[in-house]
């Protein structure tokens, strides 16, 4: 791997850390805004920051934003609305009181995105990469699954479907970035982020206006904490997209499993919750899988 090639690792780790912070902020907002309102915050309040990021790239590079072709719009539509659908499926699964089981199924995403990337984009998946993806994914499942847990067919199907949609979203965004063909991967990633957030912000705003106007009022009332959550969401997305510009979606989403390690660290050191032997075994598998993935590049 070239020196520049290592940047995707840094970008992914920064994105995972920012996403962990954003998730914590969104959980705080859920009680005041409701699930739909708290979900919309990541798009609506993230969009202005993404525009600032794009303006900064334009000024720093002196280059104009790219002129996308028809395929870009198809890919970015896939990325944007697959992500919205994935979030809806995830929340639907969690209402069945099967949160941990659902997360275990959703975290099969790296396996699914490897398949989507290979079929739709021609992204190569070598045998060492495939082994690394399976090891890291198994680690997350081990950490999430508890003996005696009751899930059922419905949360399993919803969780797997959510993972598939998250995988299609990652593949769609990477496809959109690659079709731009610009010399600057930073410009391509940032432009794609802005377009995706515009689509999501407009679509969800219209949906809430038609179905739940009280949620829009609550979002306006809670604009200060929503602004911070939006910034962290935009920051996370910016680095996800930079990583997608440099590496396959499967590699990025597998390395992204370090987010689970961040969450475990917060649980251990901030909330003084002990780490069980099962969780420790899962952490070891995730670390081994991630290390093997980086070495396989």
85-121 pLDDT, tens digit per residue, is 887 777 666 655 445 555 666 777 777 888 888 888 8
- Of 69-78, 159-168, 199-208, the least confident: 159-168
pLDDT at 10 over 60: yes
pLDDT of residue 3: 42
Half-sphere exposure for 6 (CA within 13 Å, toward CB): 3
pLDDT of residue 149: 56
Query: What pTM does this model have?
Result: 0.82
Name the pLDDT band for 2 (thresholds 50, 70, 90). Answer: very low
Tell me whether residue 264 is in a domain.
Answer: no
Tell me whether residue 58 is in a domain.
Answer: yes
- Report how far residue 248's alpha carbon sits from residue 10's, in angstroms, rounded to the nearest whole number: 15
pLDDT at 167 over 50: yes
**Domain hosting residue 225, numbered range:** 13-124+150-247
Tell me whether residue 96 is in a domain.
Answer: yes
Is 109 in contact with 163 (CB distance < 8 Å)? yes
Handedness of CA 170, 171, 172, 176 (dihedral sign): positive
Show the 3-state SS of 68-129.
CCHHHHHHHHHHHHHHHHHHHHHHHHHCCCCHHHHHHHHCCHHHHHHHHHHHHHCCCCCHHH
Tell me whether residue 266 is in a domain.
Answer: no
The alpha helices in the chain, defined as continuous H runs, are 7-44, 46-61, 70-94, 99-106, 109-116, 127-144, 153-180, 185-211, 213-221, 223-246, 249-255, 258-269, 277-296
Tell me whether residue 278 is in a domain.
Answer: no
Q: How many domains are there within the chain?
A: 1
Could you read off the pLDDT of 65-92 as tens digits, one per residue?
999 999 999 999 999 999 888 877 776 6
Work out the mean pLDDT of the chain and round it to a whole number.
81
Could you read off the pLDDT of 266-293 as tens digits, one per residue?
666 655 666 677 777 777 787 787 777 7
Query: What is the pLDDT averaged over residues 15-24?
Result: 80
Tell me whether residue 181 is in a domain.
Answer: yes
Tell me whether residue 294 is in a domain.
Answer: no
Tell me whether residue 263 is in a domain.
Answer: no
């Amino acid at each position: 791997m070239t020196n520049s090639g290592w940047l995707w690792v840094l970008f992914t780790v920064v994105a995972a850390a920012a996403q962990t912070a954003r998730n914590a902020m969104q959980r705080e907002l859920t009680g005041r805004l409701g699930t739909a309102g708290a979900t919309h915050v990541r798009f609506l309040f993230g969009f202005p920051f993404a525009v600032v990021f794009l303006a900064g790239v334009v000024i720093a590079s002196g280059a104009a934003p790219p002129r996308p072709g028809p395929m870009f719009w198809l890919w970015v539509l896939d990325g944007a609305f697959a992500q919205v659908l994935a979030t809806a499926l995830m929340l639907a699964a969690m209402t069945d009181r099967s949160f941990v089981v659902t997360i275990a199924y959703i975290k099969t995403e790296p396996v699914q995105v490897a398949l989507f990337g290979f079929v739709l984009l021609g992204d190569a998946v070598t045998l060492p990469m495939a082994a690394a993806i399976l090891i890291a994914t198994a680690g997350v499942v081990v950490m999430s699954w508890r003996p005696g847990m009751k899930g059922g067919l419905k949360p399993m199907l919803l969780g797997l479907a959510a993972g598939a949609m998250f995988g299609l979203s990652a593949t769609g965004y990477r496809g959109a970035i690659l079709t731009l063909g610009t010399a600057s991967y930073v410009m391509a990633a940032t432009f794609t982020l802005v377009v995706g957030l515009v689509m999501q912000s407009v679509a969800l705003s219209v949906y809430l206006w038609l179905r739940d106007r009280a949620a829009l009022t609550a979002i306006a009332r809670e604009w200060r904490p929503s602004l911070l959550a939006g910034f962290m969401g935009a920051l996370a997305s910016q680095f996800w997209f930079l990583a997608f510009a440099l590496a396959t979606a499967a590699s990025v989403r597998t390395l992204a499993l370090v987010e689970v390690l961040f969450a475990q660290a917060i649980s251990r050191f901030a909330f003084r919750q002990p780490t069980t032997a099962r969780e420790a075994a899962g952490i070891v598998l995730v670390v081994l899988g991630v290390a093997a993935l980086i070495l396989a590049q």
